[in-house]
Amino acid sequence: MSAPKKVVLAYSGGLDTSIILKWLQTEYGCEVVTFTADLGQGEELEPARKKAEMLGIKPENIFIEDVREEFVRDFVFPMFRANALYEGEYLLGTSIARPLISKRLVEIAAETGADAVSHGATGKGNDQVRFELAAYALNPDITVIAPWREWDLSSRTKLLEFAEQHQIPIAKDKRGEAPFSVDANLLHTSSEGKVLEDPAEAAPDYVYQRTVAPEDAPDTPEIITIGFEKGDAVSINGEAMSPATILTALNDYGRKHGIGRLDFVENRFVGMKSRGVYETPGGTILLQAHRGIEQITLDSGAGHLKDSIMPRYAELIYNGFWYSPEREMLQALIDKSQEHVTGTVTLKLYKGSVFTVARDSDHSLYSEAHVTFEEDAGAYNQEDAAGFIQLNALRLKLLAARDRRLKD
Amino acid sequence: MSAPKKVVLAYSGGLDTSIILKWLQTEYGCEVVTFTADLGQGEELEPARKKAEMLGIKPENIFIEDVREEFVRDFVFPMFRANALYEGEYLLGTSIARPLISKRLVEIAAETGADAVSHGATGKGNDQVRFELAAYALNPDITVIAPWREWDLSSRTKLLEFAEQHQIPIAKDKRGEAPFSVDANLLHTSSEGKVLEDPAEAAPDYVYQRTVAPEDAPDTPEIITIGFEKGDAVSINGEAMSPATILTALNDYGRKHGIGRLDFVENRFVGMKSRGVYETPGGTILLQAHRGIEQITLDSGAGHLKDSIMPRYAELIYNGFWYSPEREMLQALIDKSQEHVTGTVTLKLYKGSVFTVARDSDHSLYSEAHVTFEEDAGAYNQEDAAGFIQLNALRLKLLAARDRRLKD
Amino acid sequence: MSAPKKVVLAYSGGLDTSIILKWLQTEYGCEVVTFTADLGQGEELEPARKKAEMLGIKPENIFIEDVREEFVRDFVFPMFRANALYEGEYLLGTSIARPLISKRLVEIAAETGADAVSHGATGKGNDQVRFELAAYALNPDITVIAPWREWDLSSRTKLLEFAEQHQIPIAKDKRGEAPFSVDANLLHTSSEGKVLEDPAEAAPDYVYQRTVAPEDAPDTPEIITIGFEKGDAVSINGEAMSPATILTALNDYGRKHGIGRLDFVENRFVGMKSRGVYETPGGTILLQAHRGIEQITLDSGAGHLKDSIMPRYAELIYNGFWYSPEREMLQALIDKSQEHVTGTVTLKLYKGSVFTVARDSDHSLYSEAHVTFEEDAGAYNQEDAAGFIQLNALRLKLLAARDRRLKD
Amino acid sequence: MSAPKKVVLAYSGGLDTSIILKWLQTEYGCEVVTFTADLGQGEELEPARKKAEMLGIKPENIFIEDVREEFVRDFVFPMFRANALYEGEYLLGTSIARPLISKRLVEIAAETGADAVSHGATGKGNDQVRFELAAYALNPDITVIAPWREWDLSSRTKLLEFAEQHQIPIAKDKRGEAPFSVDANLLHTSSEGKVLEDPAEAAPDYVYQRTVAPEDAPDTPEIITIGFEKGDAVSINGEAMSPATILTALNDYGRKHGIGRLDFVENRFVGMKSRGVYETPGGTILLQAHRGIEQITLDSGAGHLKDSIMPRYAELIYNGFWYSPEREMLQALIDKSQEHVTGTVTLKLYKGSVFTVARDSDHSLYSEAHVTFEEDAGAYNQEDAAGFIQLNALRLKLLAARDRRLKD
């Protein structure tokens, strides 16, 4: 590949990506375009504009966007239709944000005539893979620059030296090293590294930033009702809301009740295990609610098929294959199943837990007429069960007869 | 089939199976053998002996056995090695007990020369299927009598009449109808029917019998440590215990902290949906702990394969196919994965929740040397990630190039 | 259920369904509507009209339809998009025809005000299940009458007596028993029973009716080219054809070259094994061709996902669940994969075999630039492979290091 | 990694690996150990010894071994128990040989005190991955040298220059470039590259080396019988043989009858598509035979589970993960299924095709008593089918009733 001339950088405005910005200018001598997205990480974006300007970025090369609605509508909600959990427990809060960022990087590159994109993910993690697979899938000719894999700024000291040398302002609290690394968006906050690196040691309390401790949550449970249409949440307590508004509201409920904390050791795509602390307050409530509404609206054939492909779907998202034919094929399957996933679920929130207590739907497949312990007026003929069992047993009987025959 | 001459009945000593006992004697005119098992349901068994004797069963035909250790060792623990959950949430507490009961029924039939077995499950549920598939798989020539599918005692009134007519004593509290139906064993208590039949109505508090309400649980979290060997729990807080003893102890912890409640609508194998309330205090703790120890001892290839077959494994157990070639094949796969699932997990129990807070093992695959944010002394070469990503991206690039080519 | 008043019968015009027709009239005293479909079984349909009239069916109650195009377009082709094979070898020729017949039965019932449908499948086979599951899925209130499970005409002698008694004409060659049972449609001919019942005995030559013996096929291979669009065959040797026309033409090629014979023992859904002889001349060519075009147009992620769900898809069709949510979900996944399965495949047909010899497509993902043994002008960087291997190996190294550590 | 001191090279004795040998000596200055294996590739091995000696390898550093029995017994046969096919058609002949070679390389390294191994696979293919993953899985500290990824001998001219410069003898027929590249072992011969690089062009006849053309095969079919025990072939026409002897004999049959040719475009693990011509004469017969014996000895539950995991198993072998926990877990599952796969299969071989014509086994699950069209003496109660269908239909009826309800 030839040297890039213009690069779109995923820019947070923080120290690390500011150093990357400057490094791209000096190392590659190329024009830099910054893209700063509001994914609900809870930080002001305008300071990023000022910093970018200060670092010499032309105003027309500064892109700052609120993508929260797109994030929830086109990424988070489709994923939740699948009840996706990575390795049984993780709600994929970081993984699902990366494809959106890459998509905008590639689109802005096309708009601005840039031939490269760049990100601040390290060479040990999953995020580099997610950023880059998405970028290449959307533009096979794009160049991706991953400074952490290239440069020799391999220690905190060197980074700070580089910053000072290039007049990059260093906030006082950034002088020392953070005790762990954080990523946040509307779906979750993740923490990893440093004080969390020994999985045999409990995580310190101060790691948790997004939720109150269950012990500090209200002593009284709270009951809420979530409305669904075709698999997506559309209302809380009867009030219709947009996707991002709903997730924001669920985050507030979850934070208050200490819901969605997870201390987890996972397998990274790059081959090592890592330990993370995740806080997914609204997402944890949403998953439980979605399962609740599926319980009455999804047929067993559909539900069991979804369950059986879910781990693969989650793995694809975790590994960075959002823009792959197989993820899209699985999404087609999942979306097909959600046509009747419409109704309301009532949940109880209490000190770290979310319980489904009731579900209701015009689309319900639950038939009290069939299941009742009372007289069912012929809805179900118990004698059918005898034939059902006999034919299900037939092959087992033939197996047992063989065993007996061979023993004799 | 010819009329059975001697039948082994799964006998609880309660009113319903006493009526069945008498009905078998009168309807089929056959000798009855009773089998009463202590599966940890928390009831005295000796009254069952007296009742059986009173109903005319010969002493040598009364089998009363404590099978708790066998239950946990040979059924519950193998299932937990798989992290089995039916439809994402249910821990299969009823399903896993049935094969053991059927096994003993068939064995006792062989010992006593009986040609039939009988159970008290109705024609609408899963238990009939589980009892009968297991019986046929173990003895293809056995006859199974399912009185609830055969007799005309279709109302409470008729049952009580039959009982009175045959001098079966009726406890005072059995005169009226129970507000719901209960099944219990060492793993769980399930409740269903009657007051629970409308899934849009929250379950009344009195349905829960096995756990305190989270609201009534201690205000202070409790920390415990569970030791595992080859996938099975072997100790609590360093104290070695037998399988049933461990599950009993975990039940005590779970009950105290309000852990393991589930209000659930599930798909029965016979085709209808039903709503149940499950309490699985110890099992809920055990599942979380098992996942915790697997996090550090199981490689991703092994873990992801296990995850992908788990729904099928759980479905097989739910549907009654414990004694089937495919369950045994899956068990071989699962057991193979557990050879290094050895170590300890520390959990925090608090008001309905169980959190993994730490895990430790000599068999750990977690490598701080690789994952560290600090200098890794060459354990991991970040440049490798570039090649890894390029080759993973290659097919995505070829796809994108095709799309671009076809558009032009 | 109350007694049906009007029933739509799947009527072939043959002796067996004529007996059923009369039996429905006499046993149920109900009005009979006949449905006779041309599925490409190679029989004249007009005689069925005359026979029905002779048996007293009103002209407006006689439905005779050519459904070959619908059969291939809406059933056969969607199934071939999946490369469906039951138990590794069987092309599902009988299974795929049943849902279409049931659909028309139920539709005609709605048009004619009938409250029941009836078919001539026995109680031992899969077809009863397929007919009935499809009927119930399309009309949950329909009654299905399966005479073979109900009547006492359990021997050939009794059937012929019934026929004579009711003036049903018996063709001379139907007096004796057929040496095996046959089902045919545009996709295949199946033979089973009687002379085929011992799977340790080779099938007699006369069982094969649809194809010449490979030994009698031409001594010279024939080359043909099949064109595909979005996964469906659309042309042969450059000539565009309709779905049924293509399958008919492929059948001619296959028949001539002795292609598509299968002697097979399969597992029926009802629990027993059966042995069948199948001839699927055109379908066997079509499967090979479809695989050929997928080889160059389908990405590995898409292809491997398809392969992994194919057995389940095939099982669903075999078991009669065409009209089920899970079949439709899988179809959505499969269809999504076929968007670029467009191009041509060249095949060699010779004495029982079909070989793919070439494939070509504007949608090809094959890149000679990448794969070439010659200089690739930088298309592929061999050094990337080192990193790719290192990271794929990382977990294997960690596993090996653990084994070594534990041994020491 | 530090520079290797002693390296074990997979050495064929051919020009390419001789150049590698010399390059290792000159480039790394390290001692070279050669390992030459007889995997049934059909070449004399002793010339390799002479060549190695001539290139300065000490006699104690020359390892020449006949591993054919181990290859078939421990690699080929376990794989055939799974009916493994990669991407629906490829019998994995190259893939399955690599783990054995790597195993011996690593073992010989341990015996000789070598710290590295080396192979002659290029940087574009799958074999490098297979060699290296296997090596790392068996010794996490081994160094692997892949000269093709390292050196600058990037053209035929440069290679020949290097050979001449180092007095490596060049056979006359090696001066010009081979028109395609070949790999062979007892299971198959593969050809790829050069004249095969355009998948739209038919492969020239001269590519096929291992089998006669179907057109040139005998005009008379041949019937053979293969005996199986627990899933492995143990005899032909009643004569007991060792694993390698059986495969050799089946190769002779296949070669004679033109069986096992495959022209194929596949997806390489490294991300590109490639076209290969495979000849697997004995393996093609063996697969058909194994399927035939499974048809009568394997229960549907076992068979369908095997089918569903097969694609994943095949992919693991193709990608080089033979020594991985997940392959071993799947093998445990597969092997468990084979306990009763014992009996004989009769096959007809004719001009490129292999047909199963009969199968027989004491372990058969086929029950003529159940399946017969004749009177079955009560083996099967046709009325059971009604209940079986009703309960399988129940959920479909509930779905249809919902659709109807929502439409009203």
Tell whether A379 lies on the interface with D, counting CB pairs under 8 A. Answer: no
| pLDDT higher than 80, residue A42 | yes
Both structure tokens of B108: 């006792």
- Phi and psi at residue A191, in whole multiples of 5°? -130, 140
Which residues in chain D are closer than 8 Å to C273, comparing Cβ atoms?
Answer: 295-296, 365-367, 371
Please tell me whether B18 is known to bind a ligand. Answer: yes
Q: How confident is the model at residue B56 (pLDDT cuts 50, 70, 90)?
A: very high
A65-91 pLDDT, tens per residue?
999 999 999 999 999 999 999 999 999
- What's the whole-number average pLDDT of chain C? 96
Of B267, B272, B326, the CB nearest to D305: B326
Helix (H) or strand (E) holding A102: helix A98-112
Residue of C nearest to A337 (CA): C329
**In-domain check, residue D384:** no
Contacts of A408 (CB under 8 A, 6+ apart): none
Q: Which pLDDT does position C325 carry in this prediction?
A: 98
Give the residue numbers of D annotated as catalytic, written as ranges. 16, 98, 127, 181
Q: Please indicate whether, in this complex, the C-beta atoms of A387 and D392 are within 8 angstroms of each other.
A: no
Contact B271 D392 (CB under 8 A): yes
Is residue C405 within 8 angstroms of chain D, CB to CB? no
Reported confidence tier of residue A372, pLDDT bands at 50, 70, 90: confident
Instruction: Find the domain containing A62 and state its range.
Output: 6-67+93-174
In whole angstroms, what is the distance from residue D102 CA to residue D95 CA? 12
Strands (E), B237-393: 239-240, 261-267, 273-279, 343-350, 353-360
Instruction: pLDDT band for C173, please (50, 70, 90 cuts).
Output: confident
Nearest to B270 among A139, A307, A388 (CB): A388
Does the annotation place B10 within a ligand binding site? yes
Average pLDDT score over residue span D17-46: 95
Asked if A315 and A253 count as a contact pair (C-beta separation under 8 A), the reply is no
The residues, ordered by sequence, that sit 6+ positions from A80 with a Cβ below 8 Å of its Cβ are A231, A232, A283, A286, A287, A290
Query: Using CA atoms, how far apart are residues D79 and C81, in angstroms rounded to an integer?
Result: 28
pLDDT higher than threshold 90 for residue A371: no
Query: Which residue bears the tokens 């073992």?
Result: D107
Mean pLDDT (whole number) for D87-91 = 98
pLDDT in tens, D339-371: 999 999 999 999 999 999 999 999 999 999 898
Amino acid code (one letter) for B68: R
Domain assignment present for D73: no
- Residue D174: predicted pLDDT: 74
Size of interface A-B (CB pairs under 8 A): 272
* Residue C133 token pair: 């599951």
Domain identity same for C11 and C109:
yes
> CA quadruple C103, C104, C105, C108: dihedral positive or negative?
positive
Please tell me the distance from the alpha carbon of residue B28 to that of residue D393, in angstroms, as a whole number: 33
Q: What is the pLDDT of residue B1?
A: 53
- Quickly count: other Cβ atoms within 10 Å of residue D2's Cβ: 6
Rounded to an integer, what distance in angstroms lies between the CA atom of residue D100 and that of residue C129? 48
Model confidence at C176, in pLDDT bands (50, 70, 90)? confident
d(C-alpha B258, C-alpha B261), whole Å: 7
**Are C204 and C351 in the same domain?**
yes
Distance of residue C22 Cα from the nearest chain A Cα, in angstroms: 28
CB B34 within 8 A of CB B62: yes
DSSP-based three-state secondary structure for A201: coil
Residue B157's pLDDT band (cuts 50, 70, 90): confident
Q: Would the CB atoms of B382 and A149 count as touching at under 8 Å?
A: yes
Phi, psi of A130 (to 5 degrees): -65, -45
Give the number of beta-carbon pairs within 8 Å between A and D.
72
Cβ contact A385–D387 (<8 Å): yes
Confidence band, pLDDT 50/70/90 cuts, at residue C1:
low
D405 contacts on C by Cβ (under 8 Å): none
Each residue's pLDDT tens digit, C3-38: 899 999 999 999 999 999 999 999 999 999 999 999
Chain C touched by D151 (CB under 8 Å):
no
Tokens of B228: 């595992």
B68 in Cβ contact with B41 (< 8 Å)? no
Q: What gap in Å lies between CA C341 and CA C364, rounded to an integer?
A: 9
Asked whether residue C11 is marked as a ligand-binding residue, the answer is yes
B16 is in an annotated binding site: yes
| Whether residue C101 is found in the same domain as residue C208 | no
Closest CA to A386 of B123, B27, D377: B123
Distance, CA of D321 to chain centre: 13
Q: Are B219 and B231 in contact (CB under 8 A)?
A: no
- Closest to D324 (Cα-Cα) out of D104, D138, D113: D138
* Residue that terminates a domain, selected from B120, B150, B174: B174
Whether D199 sits inside 8 A of C393 (CB atoms) is no
Give the distance from CA A84 to its chain's centroid.
9
Query: How many Cβ atoms sit within 10 Å of the Cβ of residue C177?
Result: 12
Q: Which of residues 52-81 of B touch A (CB under 8 A)?
A: none
Q: Which residue of C has its CA nearest to B388?
A: C388
- Whether residue A15 is found in the same domain as residue A145: yes
Q: How far is CA A345 from CA A348, B113, B260, D406, in A?
A: 10, 54, 20, 20
Q: Are residues A120 and A219 in the same domain?
A: no
* Beta-sheet pairing, C239-240 with C232-236: antiparallel
Question: Is any Cβ of chain B less than 8 angstroms from the Cβ of D392?
Answer: yes
Mean pLDDT along residues A51-64: 97
CA C1 to CA B396: how far, in whole Å?
57
Residue A376 lies in a domain: no
Average pLDDT of span C381-390:
95
Q: Is A390 in the D-facing interface, judged by CB distances under 8 Å?
A: yes
Q: Would residue B16 show up in a list of annotated catalytic residues for this protein?
A: yes
Q: How far is CA B102 from its chain centroid?
A: 15
Say which range, B29-38, C90-99, C371-380, C396-405, has the weakest mean pLDDT: C371-380
Residue-wise pLDDT for A168-225, tens only, equals 988 877 777 788 899 999 999 999 998 999 999 999 999 999 999 999 999 999 999 9
How wide is the angle at C-alpha D224 spanned by C-alphas D218 and D225, nearest 5°?
A: 170
For strands B62-66 and B31-38, give the pairing: parallel
Higher pLDDT, C375 or A284: A284
Do D14 and D107 share a domain, yes or no? yes
CA A383 to chain D, closest CA, distance in angstroms equals 7
B274 is an annotated ligand-binding site residue: no
DSSP C179-210: SSEEEE-SS-EEEESGGG--TTSPPPGGG--S
DSSP D151-217: -S--SHHHHHHHHHHTT----GGGTSPPSSEEEE-SS-EEEESGGG--TTSPPPGGG--SS--GGGS
- The whole-number pLDDT of residue B223 equals 98
Dist CA D329 CA A310 (whole Å): 21
A371 vs B226, higher pLDDT = B226
Cα B367 to Cα B181, B214, D107, distances in angstroms: 50, 37, 26
Q: How many CB atoms lie within 10 A of CB C152?
A: 7
Catalytic residue of the set C16, C74, C263, C376 = C16
A101, two tokens: 């960022």
Pairwise CA distance, residues A136 & A121, whole Å = 16
Residues D170 and D219 in one domain: no
Gap between the Cα atoms of B323 and B316, Å rounded: 9
- Average pLDDT score, chain A: 96
Q: A148 — contact with chain B (CB < 8 Å)?
A: yes
**Domain final residue pick, B118, B143, B174:** B174
| C-alpha dist (Å) from residue D260 to A14, C246, D207, D214, D219 | 62, 28, 14, 10, 17
Q: What is the pTM of this model?
A: 0.97
Euclidean distance between the first and final Cα of chain C, in Å? Answer: 74
Whether B225 and B154 map to the same domain: the answer is no
Please report, to the nearest 10 degrees, the dihedral formed by the alpha carbons of residues C345, C350, C354, C359 taken in order.
Answer: -20
**Tens-digit pLDDT profile for residues C306-332:** 999 999 999 999 999 999 999 999 999
Q: Which tens digit of pLDDT belongs to each residue from B227-285? A: 999 999 999 999 999 999 999 999 999 999 999 999 999 999 999 999 999 999 999 99
CATH number where A107 lies: 3.40.50.620
Beta bridge partners of D38: D66
Shared domain for B23 and B151, answered yes or no, is yes
Q: What is the mean pLDDT of residues A100-127?
A: 97
Contact B197/A at CB under 8 A: yes
Q: Is the pLDDT of residue D1 over 60?
A: no
Task: Indicate if D34 and D151 belong to the same structural domain.
Answer: yes
C181, C264, C396 member nearest D373 (Cβ):
C181
Do D349 and D279 fall into the same domain? yes
What total of structural domains would you count in chain C? 2
Q: What value does the mean pLDDT take over residues B14-38?
A: 96
List CB contacts (< 8 A) between D299 and chain A: 395, 398-399
Q: Collapsing DSSP states into helix, strand and coil, what is residue D16?
A: helix
DSSP string, B342-366: -EEEEEEEETTEEEEEEEE-TT---
The DSSP bridge partners found for residue B133 are none
Q: By C-alpha distance, which of C273, D234, C365, C166 is closest to B400?
A: C365
Angle at the Cα of D218 (from D217 to D224), degrees rounded to 5? 105
Tell me whether B26 touches chain C (CB under 8 Å).
no
Contact with chain D for residue A365, Cβ under 8 A:
yes
A255-279 pLDDT per residue, tens = 999 999 999 999 999 999 999 999 9
Neighboring chain D residues of A298 at a CB cutoff of 8 Å? none
Q: Does B301 contact chain D (CB < 8 Å)?
A: yes
d(CA B265, CA A359): 9
Can you name the residues that pair with B235 across neighbouring β-strands? Answer: B227, B240
CB-based contact C281:C250 (threshold 8 Å): yes
Report the residue from C137, C199, C389 with minimal CB separation from D396. C137
Tell me the CATH number at B255: 3.90.1260.10
Q: What H or E segment, with its residue span, contains residue C69?
A: helix C68-71
B130 in a domain, yes or no? yes
Distance CA C39, CA C10 (A): 12
- pLDDT tens figures, D184-193: 999 999 999 9
Query: What is the Cα A228 distance to its own chain's centre?
Result: 20
| Residues of chain B contacting C398 with CB distance shorter than 8 Å | 299, 365, 367, 370
Biggest CA–CA distance in chain B, Å, is 90
A 10 A CB-CB count for C29 gives 10
Among D402, D404, D405, most A C-beta atoms within 10 A, so best to mutate, is: D402
Considering the domain boundaries, does residue C76 fall inside one? no
Q: In this structure, is residue A131 part of a structural domain? A: yes
ipTM of the complex: 0.96
A263 is catalytic: no
Q: Report the share of chain B in percent with pLDDT over 90.
A: 90
Burial class (CB in 10 A: 0-12, 13-18, 19+), C190: buried
Q: Which of D324, D332, D336 sits opposite B301 (nearest CB)?
A: D324
Q: Confirm whether B28 is domain-assigned.
A: yes
The neighbours of chain A, by the rule of 3 or more Cβ pairs under 8 Å, are B, C, D
β-strand partners of A190: A183, A278
pLDDT band at C372 (very low <50, low <70, confident <90, very high): confident
Evaluated on CA atoms A374, A379, A380, A381, the torsion sign reads positive
State pLDDT tens for residues C324-359.
999 999 999 999 999 999 999 999 999 999 999 999
Residue D308 among known ligand-binding residues: no
Look at residue A230 in the predicted model and tell me its pLDDT: 98
| Residue C121: pLDDT over 80 | yes
Residue B295 has pLDDT above 80, yes or no: yes
Please tell me which residue in A38, A49, A118, A127 is annotated as part of the active site: A127
Residue A336 CA to residue A82 CA, distance in Å, equals: 11
Q: Residues 270-299, chain D: which have Cβ within 8 Å of B? A: 270-272, 299
Task: Determine, yes or no, domain membership for D333.
Answer: no
Q: How far apart are CA C108 and CA D245, in angstroms?
A: 63
Q: Is the pLDDT of residue A1 over 70?
A: no
pLDDT at residue number C48: 95
Contact C397 D140 (CB under 8 A): yes
Pick the more confident residue, A367 or D373: A367
Residue finishing a domain among C141, C158, C174? C174
Structure tokens at A249: 């509201």
| 8 Å CB contact of B299 and C383 | no
Portion of chain C with pLDDT greater than 90, in percent: 90
pLDDT band at D176 (very low <50, low <70, confident <90, very high): confident
Q: Is C369 on the interface with D (CB under 8 A)?
A: no
Nearest CB neighbour to B132, from listed A203, A219, A389: A389
C247 and C190 together in one domain: yes
